[in-house]
Amino acid sequence: MYMRAEGYCCETVTREYGFWRTSNHSRCIIKKVKYVIGNWKSNQNISQSLIWLDGLSALHPKFSPEVTVILCLPFTDIASFNHKISDLNLPIISGSQNVSHLAPGKHTGEITANMLSELVNYCIVGHSERRQEFSETSEIVAQKARLLLESSITPIICLDTPYLDEQIKALFTCDVDVSRCFFVYEPISAIGIGKPIDSVSANHIANQIAFLTDNAAPILYGGSVSSDNAASFVRENCIDGVLVGTDSLEPTLFAGIITSLS
């Protein structure tokens, strides 16, 4: 428990997930931990992922204790990647990009949360590409999030306007503990085009997400993130980190983003 931050009409401030939350649920601007999450999507085979790690290690990026680095990989890369980051002593946490919405059982080809539980700490769900290309509904995303939490994996849940109410309502309907999740504001219009929305607009939506989830969890921005703009998003009071797509595939660019937040 900590003394209140100046300018907030509250009595106490608690630290949760590295950001600060006031007793009246206002979100404070003081943040001690920032998040950089890479999403390789359907790129990099095992050999390429190991070469990528060698390349990142050779750059000697500045890994600040204030920045948590997570890399969400294709299923096939995860085990070898985990061994390699241990060998190189790199402070990177592995995650996956998807999980089945089904519990273990007779579901040929499905990768369940239980299977992933010995490999990763995080998993992306609800990415716009999965919602669009695979017709994943908010109910399916919520089922995935609940199963991940049951296997002690933190869901990284992607959201977008104008569907925030419906997407978040589905989580509560499915009894998902939102305080144990990460949320990403991921505007479809900004994904992979090199033109992110401005940080003030992103912060406005992040504030809506914070309100709808009772300020319970970290909120990140994703969409054309680069070393040139990452810090501008994290400086906003409602944004705790960034989800990086294209620029996570190149070690130099990814290292630049990490350094920009350190």
Residue tagged 């009246």 (tokens)? 24
Is position 127 annotated as part of the catalytic site?
A: yes
Taking the C-alpha atoms of 18, 23, 24 and 29 in order, what is their torsion angle to the nearest 10 degrees? -30
Q: Which of these is catalytic: 127, 129, 136, 236? A: 127
Neighbours of 169 (CB within 10 A): 14
Neighbours of 254 (CB within 10 A): 23
Tokens of 119: 């490999």
Taking the C-alpha atoms of residue 103 and residue 114, their distance in angstroms, rounded to an integer, is: 8
Per the CB < 8 A criterion, the answer to whether 261 and 230 are in contact is: yes
Letter for the amino acid at 12?
T
DSSP assignment string, 180-191: G-EEEE--GGGT
Which residues lie across from 154 on neighbouring strands? 122
Neighbours of 158 (CB within 10 A): 24
Q: Which of these is catalytic: 101, 129, 136, 186? A: 186
CA 203-187-235 angle, to 5 degrees, is 25
Letter for the amino acid at 179?
S
CA 50-55-56 angle, to 5 degrees, is 100
Catalytic site residues? Answer: 127, 186
